[in-house]
Amino acid sequence: MCEEYERHILKLTEQHEQAINSLLDQFKAHLSRVQEAYEKSKKESEQLKMINEEKLTMTEADNKEEINKINAKQVEEKKSLLDVIDELKKDMQTLMWQRDRLQREKEMFLRKRQAEEQAA
């Protein structure tokens, strides 16, 4: 009965570790996609900046307003992407802490079980 319970606990621990590792992989993939989107946005921003500079030859007042709107939009997009990246990094760190904690608990459990077996 006790051994069956211990096997069940070990199985659950391994399942939790696998789930955490899977979530970490998903977060890493998502973080990578967000970073790629950020880089793409950054390139587009540079291209738009060059276009905006070319437009300065047009009516200056109209151009300045348009440039300010575009720049403000780009700044907001960058902030949003950076916020998402920060949140993903925090979530990934939390998952790694949980994985490490589970690993330590598993090791402690196995050591305790081994000590009990040796004592018996």
List all residues 6 or more positions away from 30 whose beta carbon is below 8 Å from its beta carbon. 88
pLDDT band for position 74 (50/70/90)?
confident
Q: Find where tokens 């802490």 sit.
A: 97
pLDDT for residue 79 is more than 80:
yes
- 18-66 residue pLDDT tens: 988 898 999 899 989 989 988 998 898 888 888 877 776 666 667 678 8
- Residue 41 and residue 43: Cα distance in Å, rounded? 5
- Residue 77 and residue 97: Cα distance in Å, rounded? 30
Residue-level pLDDT at 72:
86
- Residue 86 and residue 91: Cα distance in Å, rounded? 9
- 83-107 residue pLDDT tens: 888 888 898 898 899 999 999 999 9
